[in-house]
Amino acid sequence: MLLSAGVFCSAIMPGQDDELAKSIERGKMIYSENCITCHMGNGEGVPAAFPPLAKSDYFINAPENAIRAVKFGLIGKIKVNGIDYDNMMPDPGLGKDEIADVVNYISNSWGNSSDKKIITEKMVEETKENK
Amino acid sequence: MTVLNNNKPLLTFMNKNIPLLKKYIPLALGGALLMASAGLMSNSGMNPDKKPEKKFSEASLQVDTVATGLTMPWASALLPNGDLLVTERGGKLRLVQKGKLDPQEISGIPEVYYKGQGGLLDIALHPDYKSNGWIYISYSSPKAAGEEGDDNGANTALIRAKLKDHALTDIQPLFKAIPNVKANVHFGGRIVFDKKGYVFLSLGERGQKENSQNLGRDQGKVVRLHEDGKIPTDNPFVKTEGARPEIWTYGHRNPQGMIIHPTTGVIWEHEHGPQGGDELNIIEKGKNYGWPLITYGIDYDNSIISKDTARAGLEQPVTFWRPSIAPCGMTFISNDKFKEWKGDLIVGSLKFMYLQHLVVKGNKVTSREIIFDKIGRVRDVRQGWDGNIYVVLENSGKVVRISPKS
């Protein structure tokens, strides 16, 4: 949490809108290849199986949760928008740049907004696995 | 018990050697089982409240964990001594002895492309493993120098090797799907033997659906090879200009379940389709299974892939799944101890974390039911030589054995 607050504040820089737009565009491709079959085309997920990404309280105020899930995969129980999920997301094996791109896409699609804040490779690098 | 033992050799003999008598087997089997049950009832301490005529169901089965501690396991093979070999998608081959995972991995696995859905995939023992020791392994293979395709790309490859202590020896590369593609999805990877000297490998379209229809590429195909990797001269497209000679069937998306029918010897396959279009197919020489020209599904971004579900010259599935279950792993039940389930299919679901029992009559699926709901993300379902069903669970890193309760 502390980490995210720090990095997200420092992440707003001039000229970055353009960079964010490009990252989102690349992220869309990565999403359609690695995420879409479970989380679906509009980020709605699959009831009782895969949680939604659209307006998901799992990462809306804590984008590092999204980075962590994409970087390391997820296993076991989580609660998303009040509903329990107990499944597994394999580590998709993406590069740090790809992780940043896909999280930027997810954070700015289907009603989600990162308020123009961009996830950078460095932030992906600094995100540690929950032990 | 004596009744059961006396009948066993007879049934085995009939099944394997007298296909013409096939239609009489159910009759003989029913009788034998009735007698066997009676024998069990009186001799083995079975709960006397359980009536022998009770319908065989999920409740008739028990699940025992036979391996734990695996990391993203993909497939398992039961060795003649009861040990299990298990592939981990990250690139390790592991040995499980007496229910314990050996901490030492098996050496000799080639470099695998571990990304997205790629990695170390299937494992299958040669039908004559006991005499020749051959183990077949499929995996996502990164582009090697001189190979066709995208730089940093990959495609599915097949090797065979022998196991000596903790090492693969006599490693022989048999096949590599061409071209290499820079995408993380749809590697297929299932290996089956037809016991006539051929091995089949299923190949996904690597995220390029149009290439399933391109006979010049291996994407979205089932290929047929001699067991030493040579390409049979009687494959269907050997004489077709521009076609790859290893192709047996085409028009597949991502086939991750494949099994030979125990009595007809025909291959049954299932594949991950688009949204609402997972298919079960019967695989026959030279046929086109239609992806992406026809499909029962729509794309995952909700766009229409084809308005057609059927077209002349394109095969129809035996059945399809809507919603998609993400089928992975499949076996026919061919052991008598599964009673009236014998001849049926068990299919794994990655997505909904259960198994499905499909009742098969001839070339039709007459009904299907969910069994063992929440068992886990099912990667592999196969019948061991002991007649039990081994299920590989990706999320919990386990292999479980399903067998009739005794």
| B208 reaches A (C-beta below 8 A) | no
Query: Of A41, A90, A92, which is closest to B300 when you measure between CB atoms?
Result: A41
- Closest approach of B116 to chain A, Cα-based (Å): 4
**B334 beta partners:** none
Packing angle between helix B25-43 and helix B2-17, nearest 10 degrees? Answer: 160
Q: Between chains, do B353 and A49 touch, taking CB under 8 Å as contact? A: yes
Decide if B89 touches A, using CB distance below 8 A: yes
| Cβ-contact A59, A42 below 8 angstroms | no
**Stretch B331-358: mean pLDDT, rounded?**
97
CA distance linking residue A34 with residue A39, whole number of Å: 10
Q: Is the pLDDT of residue B263 over 70?
A: yes
Burial of B297 (0-12, 13-18, 19+ CB in 10 A): buried
The active-site residue, picked from B186, B252, B270, B272, is B186
Mean pLDDT of chain B: 90
* Residue that wins the pLDDT comparison between B194 and A33: B194
Instruction: Estimate the crossing angle of helix A96-106 against helix A16-34, to 10 degrees.
Output: 100
DSSP assignment, residue A124?
H
**Nearest in space to A33 (alpha carbons), one of A111, A109, A107, A93:** A93
Instruction: Kindly determine whether residue A90 and residue B299, on different chains, have CB atoms separated by under 8 Å.
Output: no
Q: Residue B242: what pLDDT?
A: 97
CB contact under 8 A, A37 and B300: yes
Contact between chains at A93 and B118 (C-beta distance less than 8 A):
yes
Q: B122: closest CA among B69, B175, B81?
A: B175
Which of A34, A40, A75 minimises the CB distance to B184?
Answer: A34
Residue A130, pLDDT score: 82
Residues in B touching A88 (Cβ below 8 Å) = 377, 394-395
Confidence of residue A93 (pLDDT cuts 50, 70, 90): confident
Q: How far is CA B125 from CA A91, B201, B348, in A?
A: 29, 14, 21
User: Can you tell me the distance from the alpha carbon of B343 to that of B74, in angstroms, rounded to the nearest whole number?
Assistant: 25
Minimal-distance CA residue of chain B relative to A41? B301
Select from A117, A18, A28, A130 the least CA-distant residue to A76: A130
For B347, phi then psi, to 5°, come to: -120, 140
pLDDT at A60: 87
Instruction: Reply yes or no on whether the pLDDT at A6 is more than 90.
Output: no
Given CB atoms, is B397 within the 8 Å cutoff of chain A? no
Q: What is the C-alpha separation between A77 and A54, in angstroms, rounded?
A: 19
- The size of the A-B interface in CB pairs under 8 A is 51
Residue B193 to residue B256: CA distance in whole angstroms: 15
Contact A46/B351, CB-based, under 8 Å? yes
Assigned fold of A33-115 = Cytochrome Bc1 Complex; Chain D, domain 2 (1.10.760)
ipTM (interface pTM): 0.76
Mean pLDDT, to the nearest integer, of B87-110?
97
Contacts A36 to B, Cβ<8 Å: 300-301
**pTM of the full structure:** 0.84
CA distance A41 to chain B (A): 4
B259-296 b/e (C-beta count within 10 Å ≥ 16 → b): bbbbeeeebbbbbbbbbebbbbbbbeeebbbbbbbbbb
List pLDDT tens digits, range A105-131: 999 999 999 999 999 999 999 999 987
Of A49-63, B51-65, B178-192, B365-379, minimum mean pLDDT range: B51-65
Tokens 């076609």 belong to which residue? B243
pLDDT of B23 higher than 60: no
Of A33, A41, A49, the CB nearest to B184: A33
B261 is catalytic: no
Across the interface, do A41 and B299 touch by the CB < 8 Å criterion? yes
Sequence ranges of the domains in chain A: 33-115
- Judge whether residue A100 has pLDDT over 70: yes
Q: From 2.40.30.10, 2.60.120.10, 3.40.1210.10, 2.120.10.30, which CATH number describes the B61-404 domain?
A: 2.120.10.30
Residue B34: pLDDT over 50: no
Nearest Cα of chain A lies from the Cα of B16 at a distance, in angstroms, of: 41
Describe chain B by its helix, strand, coil percentages, rounded to 5: 15, 40, 50
**What chain B residue is nearest to A40 in terms of C-alpha separation?**
B300
Dump the DSSP string for A42-77. TS--BTTTB---TT-TTTTT-HHHHHHHHHH-EEEE
